């Protein structure tokens, strides 16, 4: 092939690294079929190999020698053009690199990279090698022939290992190479069947097998089985070894075949008819369709238990009839179990579930299936599902749109999936519906600005009344010494009444663990994390003190590390402590926890929810995980043990978030009955959030909050860019923050707050400083962000500040 016949000579490749831009590679003749979105293997740096995604093809030769593509890993592109445009928008808006978006978007098995391997050149340890540690290292490598660096790090520290490798390499005792292996492999099963052409009954003289009785047993097994069987089943059924089967295969009497197993296949019952909508639901459905015809994002403001999901079903059914796909975003994996079951009852095998807890190989296969668009029309998942390569996306439904779980914190890209869904829908010309009982102030402001349509569903489905809200003054009962297991008599009596009636109870406490901290009552010492500026949380079941920020944990010695006395007391309470103390005062009750600690194991979410749904648990004690969209028929009572810690956090959104959380947890009560109750314990019964909650008027609360935000120039009336700086030395971190603040104050249209240390000023041994940059909504956001990026780059290049970590976060709320 001549150059004239070649269409493009160079490829711009995105690598899953925190490096700016794309990288140019030459396209070898053999890879002329490579396209935009293809996954390719490239050499990066001196030795490293990475799998990347082709962003563009061109004939513009750069002014340097380019490396060739090493391989094209799939015949067809794996990322469509629309997804690549979406990546570029995300990198620009959230101020990160295209490589960081690529890292977040692709399934882990797509992101192969080379590993450094050390191999032995010598077969034995030379006598001339007199360093003991070097001899030990060489012996280990010779014994294994070849080892990865991370395997050797189990024997030596990083610094020492690098020094020894340098010594042995210089003496040519060992060599170094980069190795690449594709992680994903299709799941294959092997089956055996009888070759009737050679071994049909009557054509085989079994007397010939007198000396091979095991082979005879196999043939008799197949004559009875009448068909193909898995190799393992044949071995067990005939009671023979692999060697016997191999002998029959070699003789041609058995034929072995391999089949690729569908990892995504599930036994799903035939779909049920769409549920019938009430008159109000049907009116809402028609209104949404009308707004969708105008290509207008729509906010569905529906009270808890109003039947929003049934409306979703009818909208999605319409999308499927048009031959398109529907994406349903959920804030938490914990929500998927119940909701997926409901979706599969209606849409059967058309439903796919995509999240981080499914097997890595399943994620690859689902990626390909969604890209083809033939099998799955309804995709359900948390925020990461927004990156799937949809073939023909028709609508995006963002359930619980207000939930802060849609915001990615670390690492970059620090995106909000709700906001990103609007951009993705524009690229696909798809429709968006955001559903919630407690709309975010951003979405309400967008409605006021006529960017979103607003549709309301204010009645509970089935005409059930809203639960009664009961406010209990916790401090009053505490002073009277009437509190047991952190329950006031009002709440405890209500719990006992519900259990006596055969009903279940949900108790909400937004703190996991046994106790927030321990304190010595002799010297006052409180154990703190050595890596973070936080107290260690006590977990009684494991008898450990744990940092919930960096993961550090230490065994509880049972005495004070400062004075040696044993007068250590637990202070405060978490879900574990509530569970234990309730079991003492309610010994016959079946009590379980639903928090991050109780749901670490695979399928533990579904197991606990399933047990509660089946009535195997009487009291479910949980953190905010219990507030998210769960629907239980036998729960009339929900108790909030301590509402105070929700609205006391120093954040401009704390009132909004506490109101949303309390209304959501209240929505778990009385979903299928008229006598639901929500009992909220607080030491601040006159607090404005509590007052609005008791009135049950979220709209009035939201209007008041919007006025406050406007008055003090906070989102949604301004934009905020938060910049976090980290370093292991406080003075270095502070100097970098001051330098960046000074540079940002020179940028037109930007208000600079800080620098200042956050509430927790050190995490994982890194000191932290923060800048809050505010800009008007009408400001030239692109120009301002570009100027901030330039300021950050100058700080990173400054003498003594190159090791400072600087992370910009657009819309951090």
Residues of each annotated binding site for Zn(2+): 520, 523, 529, 532, 547, 550, 560, 563
Long-range contacts of the stretch 610-615 (C-beta < 8 A, 24+): 610/337, 612/504, 613/338, 615/504
Tell which phi-psi region holds residue 483, choosing left (phi > 0), alpha (psi between -120 and 50) or beta. Answer: beta
- CB–CB of 599/564 below 8 Å? no
Beta pairing partners, 540: none
Q: Are strands 378-381 and 351-353 parallel, antiparallel or unpaired?
A: parallel
Residue 603 burial (CB count, 10 A):
11
Q: CA-to-CA distance for 289 and 308, rounded, in angstroms?
A: 15
The sign of the CA dihedral 777, 782, 788, 789 is positive
Residues in the chain: 813
Full DSSP string of 180-200: --------EEEEEEE-HHHH-
User: 443: which 2 tokens?
Assistant: 């979405």
- CB–CB of 545/556 below 8 Å? yes
CA 397 distance to own-chain centroid: 18
Beta pairing partners, 192: 229, 256
Q: Which residue has the tokens 């973070």?
A: 532
Strand order, beta sheet including 325-329: 351-353, 378-381, 325-329, 393-399, 431-436, 298-302, 453-457
Is the bond preceding residue 500 a cis peptide, omega within 30 degrees?
A: no
User: 642: which 2 tokens?
Assistant: 């301590």
Q: CA-to-CA distance for 36 and 83, rounded, in angstroms?
A: 11
- CB–CB of 726/733 below 8 Å? yes
Q: CA-to-CA distance for 249 and 253, rounded, in angstroms?
A: 6
- CB–CB of 406/417 below 8 Å? yes
Is the bond preceding residue 413 a cis peptide, omega within 30 degrees?
A: yes
Q: Which residue has the tokens 């109780």?
A: 598
Residue partners of 254: CB distance under 8 A and separation at least 6 = 192, 193, 194, 195, 199, 218, 222, 245, 248
User: 359: which 2 tokens?
Assistant: 């097997």
Decide: residue 2, CB within 10 A, 0-12 exposed, 13-18 middle, 19+ buried.
exposed
Which segments are annotated as binding site? Answer: 520, 523, 529, 532, 547, 550, 560, 563
Rg over alpha carbons for the chain, rounded to the nearest Å, is 31
Please report which residue ranges of 556-687 form alpha helices under DSSP H: 575-585, 604-613, 654-666
Decide: residue 587, CB within 10 A, 0-12 exposed, 13-18 middle, 19+ buried.
exposed
Is the bond preceding residue 716 a cis peptide, omega within 30 degrees?
A: yes
344 SS3 class: helix
369 SS3 class: helix
Residue partners of 295: CB distance under 8 A and separation at least 6 = 429, 431
Q: CA-to-CA distance for 812 and 275, rounded, in angstroms?
A: 39
Q: Which residue has the tokens 């692709």?
A: 106
473 SS3 class: strand
Among 796, 754, 790, 759, smallest CA distance to 774 is for 754
C-alpha dist (Å) from residue 693 to 405, 459, 662, 675, 688: 22, 17, 8, 18, 8
Element housing 498 (H / E):
helix 489-500
């Amino acid at each position: 092939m001549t150059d004239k016949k070649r269409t493009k000579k160079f490829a711009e490749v995105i690598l899953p690294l925190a490096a700016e831009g794309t990288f140019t590679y030459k396209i070898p003749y053999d890879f002329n079929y490579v396209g935009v979105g293809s996954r390719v293997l490239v050499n990066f740096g001196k030795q490293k190999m990475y799998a990347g995604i082709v962003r563009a093809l061109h004939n513009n030769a750069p002014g340097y020698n380019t490396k060739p593509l090493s391989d094209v890993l799939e015949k067809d592109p794996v990322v469509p053009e629309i997804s690549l445009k979406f990546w570029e928008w995300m990198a620009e808006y959230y101020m990160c690199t295209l490589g960081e978006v690529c890292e977040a978007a692709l399934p882990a098995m797509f992101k192969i990279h080379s590993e450094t391997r050390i191999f032995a050149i010598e077969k034995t340890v030379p006598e001339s090698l007199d360093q003991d540690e070097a001899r030990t290292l060489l012996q280990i490598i010779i014994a294994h022939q070849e080892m990865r660096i991370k395997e050797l790090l189990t024997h030596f520290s990083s610094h020492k290992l690098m020094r020894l490798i340098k010594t042995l390499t210089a003496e040519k005792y060992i060599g170094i190479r980069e190795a690449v292996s594709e992680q994903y492999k299709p799941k294959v099963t092997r089956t055996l069947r009888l070759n009737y052409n050679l071994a049909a009954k009557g054509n085989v003289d079994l007397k010939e097998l007198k000396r091979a009785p095991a082979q005879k047993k196999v043939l008799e097994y197949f004559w009875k089985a009448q068909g193909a069987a898995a190799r393992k089943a044949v071995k067990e059924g005939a009671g023979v070894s692999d060697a016997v089967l191999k002998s029959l295969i070699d003789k041609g009497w058995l034929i072995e075949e391999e089949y690729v197993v569908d990892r995504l296949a599930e036994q799903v019952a035939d779909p049920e008819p769409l549920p019938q909508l009430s008159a109000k639901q049907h009116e809402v459905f028609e209104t949404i369709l009308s707004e969708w015809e105008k290509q207008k994002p729509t906010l569905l403001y529906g009270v808890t238990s109003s039947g929003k999901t049934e409306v979703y079903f009818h909208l999605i059914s319409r999308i499927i009839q048009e031959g398109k796909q529907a994406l349903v975003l959920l804030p938490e994996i914990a929500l998927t179990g119940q909701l997926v079951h409901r979706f599969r009852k209606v849409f059967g095998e058309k439903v796919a579930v995509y999240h981080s807890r499914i097997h890595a190989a399943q994620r690859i296969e689902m990626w390909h299936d969604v890209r083809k668009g033939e099998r799955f029309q309804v995709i359900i998942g948390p925020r990461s599902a927004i990156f799937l390569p949809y073939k023909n996306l028709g609508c995006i439904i963002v359930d619980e749109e207000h939930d802060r779980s849609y915001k990615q914190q670390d690492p970059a890209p620090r995106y909000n999936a709700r906001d990103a869904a609007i951009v993705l829908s524009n690229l696909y010309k798809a429709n968006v519906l955001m559903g919630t009982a407690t709309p975010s102030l951003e979405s309400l402001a967008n409605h006021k600005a006529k960017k979103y349509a607003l549709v309301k569903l204010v009645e509970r489905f089935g005409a059930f009344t809203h639960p009664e809200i009961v406010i209990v003054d916790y401090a009053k009962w505490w002073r009277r010494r009437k509190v047991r297991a952190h329950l006031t008599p009002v709440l405890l009596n209500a719990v006992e009444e519900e259990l006596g009636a055969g009903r279940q109870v949900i108790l909400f406490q937004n703190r996991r663990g046994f106790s927030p901290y321990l304190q010595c009552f002799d010297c006052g010492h409180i154990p703190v994390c050595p890596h973070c500026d936080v107290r260690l949380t006590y977990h009684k079941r494991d008898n450990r003190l744990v940092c919930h920020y960096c993961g550090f944990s230490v065994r509880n010695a049972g005495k004070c590390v400062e004075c040696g006395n044993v007068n250590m007391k637990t202070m405060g309470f978490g879900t574990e402590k509530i569970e234990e103390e309730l079991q003492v005062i309610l010994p016959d009750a079946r009590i379980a926890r639903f928090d991050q600690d109780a749901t670490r194991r695979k399928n533990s979410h579904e197991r606990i929810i399933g047990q509660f749904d089946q009535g195997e648990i009487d009291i479910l004690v949980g953190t905010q995980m219990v507030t998210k969209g769960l629907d239980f028929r036998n729960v009339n009572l929900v108790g909030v043990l301590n509402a105070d810690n929700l609205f006391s956090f120093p954040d401009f959104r704390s009132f909004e978030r506490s109101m949303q959380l309390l209304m959501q947890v209240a929505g778990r009560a009385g979903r299928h009955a008229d006598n639901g109750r929500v009992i909220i314990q607080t030491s601040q019964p006159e607090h404005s959030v509590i007052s609005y909650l008791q009135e049950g008027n979220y709209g009035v609360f939201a209007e008041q909050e919007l006025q406050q935000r406007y008055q003090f120039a906070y989102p949604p009336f301004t934009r905020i860019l938060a910049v976090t700086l980290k370093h292991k030395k406080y003075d270095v971190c502070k100097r970098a923050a001051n330098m960046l603040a000074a540079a940002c104050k020179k940028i037109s249209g930007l208000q600079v707050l800080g620098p200042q240390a956050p509430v927790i000023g050190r995490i994982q041994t890194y000191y932290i400083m923060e800048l809050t940059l505010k800009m008007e909504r009408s400001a030239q956001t692109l120009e301002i962000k570009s100027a901030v990026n330039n300021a950050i780059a100058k700080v990173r290049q400054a003498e003594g500040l190159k090791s400072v970590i600087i992370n910009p976060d657009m819309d951090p709320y």
